[in-house]
Amino acid sequence: MRPRHFLPATLLSLALTVPGLTQATTASAVATGESTTLSTTTAEAKKKVTLRKQSTKSRWAGQQLGTYKGPHDQAWQALTRTGVKAKNKPYVQQLVNIPKVGWMGAWQADDVVYESTKNYIRDTQQGDPTKIVAIASFRLDPWYTEARTANPSAANIASYKRWIRNQVRAIGNTPTIIVLQPDMPFLMTAKHKKKYQGMLKFAAAEYNKNANTKIYLEAGSWDWPAPGQGGAKAAAKFLEPIGIKNVDGFALGSTHYTSLEKEILRSKELVDIFRKKGYKNELRTVITTASNGNPWNFGDWQFKHRGVADEAPACTSKKQFKKVTCVTTGVPPTFDVANPKWGLSKTARARAKKYVDAYLWFSRPWLDMQNSPFLEDKTATMLKVSPFRKYYAQYK
């Protein structure tokens, strides 16, 4: 039996995705210089709401992500300890050298997470304290399908708070990106949602005490909750009780495969919702691009393998792109979100400038069921076929 933190990711998202959903764009395309004045619906108010000006620069611009190399990275373990096939080695080496977001959670005990986080920071910065450390805080327990009915006990809550406090203390002044609770939309089905939201609210406030830590609440993907499920408004509903004033924005796509353009659109939708609500803190997003080199929506899953899209097979040919729900890696991690070389439309580039801080790799398609064990053959195939292959050359 797998440890608790190896529970399959997003099992419930299949049930939450509407098959055959019309993937209609829910906001009109806006060119560069997008208006900062939005009209509310007649039901909401018969007036225009003037929004404050939105920044057009990533808050991380000009800085550098650190690359973690150590035992938390299963690819690093395979490469340096257990070994990989000769034909796969160049690709596994490349994956190891690409800056990724490390997941940390209940598998690090409360009294261990301080030292574990310190070691993670050391092995990411490698002597350069200016390098940015990126962590996915995945500590809620119970979680996933258990969270549908489980009522967190006083002991669960106390343990969660102890873990968070210890990690916050370990991070200190380190420049850090926190992706808070991947697969957050599971809150939509949690019977005791308010308790989970309260725990996450505590975590956001604690991380926010560190001046150099930026917190991005996981908000699902453009297809979860999809437009037909309430879209960005549904996501905002479960996010707001966590405490928007204590965060720096939202994270999108942790276990899905949706296109970058759609995730940028969802970024705009989410940020505009909270701007209209009057939140004064600057809100932007980080989007995972580790899994959407060949984008598709979760509900369009074509295969019977395991019955779930979590373990999508690697694309073996570019001929499969836009035709088959296979997975390959996308844009490499970057703060240069509006660069034309990423192939985005003019509208998407303009939106990215205003709403997106970074493209990061916090999804993990190189792991079985996106959690464990490491799949070296799949890794090699994904990186070899990726339409962004040439941009990985720097990670030899």
DSSP letter string over 336-383? -TT-GGG---HHHHHHHHHHEEEEE----TTBGGGTSSB-HHHHHHHH
Q: What domains sit in the chain, N to C, each tagged with a CATH number?
A: 84-392 (3.20.20.40)
pLDDT at 236: 98
Residue 235 in tokens:
């996501």
How much is the pLDDT for 118? 98
CA atoms within 13 Å, Cβ hemisphere of 388 = 25
Sequential pLDDT tens for the chain (396 residues): 333 333 333 333 333 333 333 333 333 333 333 433 333 344 444 345 456 678 888 999 999 999 999 999 999 999 999 999 999 999 999 999 999 999 999 999 999 999 999 999 999 999 999 999 999 999 999 988 888 899 999 999 999 999 999 999 999 999 999 999 999 999 999 999 999 999 999 999 999 999 999 999 999 999 999 999 999 999 999 999 999 999 999 999 999 999 999 999 999 999 999 999 999 999 999 999 999 999 999 999 998 766 688 899 999 999 999 999 999 999 999 999 999 999 999 999 999 999 999 999 999 999 999 999 999 999 999 999 999 999 999 998
What is the DSSP code (8-state) at residue 170? H
Q: What's the pLDDT at 24?
A: 36
Q: Output the pLDDT for position 307.
A: 65
pLDDT given at position 17: 35
Classify each residue of 303-332 as buried b or exposed e, where b means 16 or more C-beta atoms within 10 Å of its C-beta. eeeeebbbbbbbbeeeebbeebbbbbbbbb
**pLDDT of the residue at 56:** 85
pLDDT at residue 308, as a whole number: 82
User: Which amino acid, one-letter code, is at 360?
Assistant: L
Neighbours of 80 (CB within 10 A): 14
pLDDT at 350: 98
pLDDT value of residue 291: 98
Bridge pairing between strands 176-180 and 356-360: unpaired
pLDDT of residue 147: 86
The answer to whether the beta carbons of residues 215 and 222 sit under 8 Å apart is no
pLDDT for residue 38: 35
Report how far residue 380's alpha carbon sits from residue 281's, in angstroms, rounded to the nearest whole number: 41
Closest CA to 185 of 143, 155, 126, 157: 143
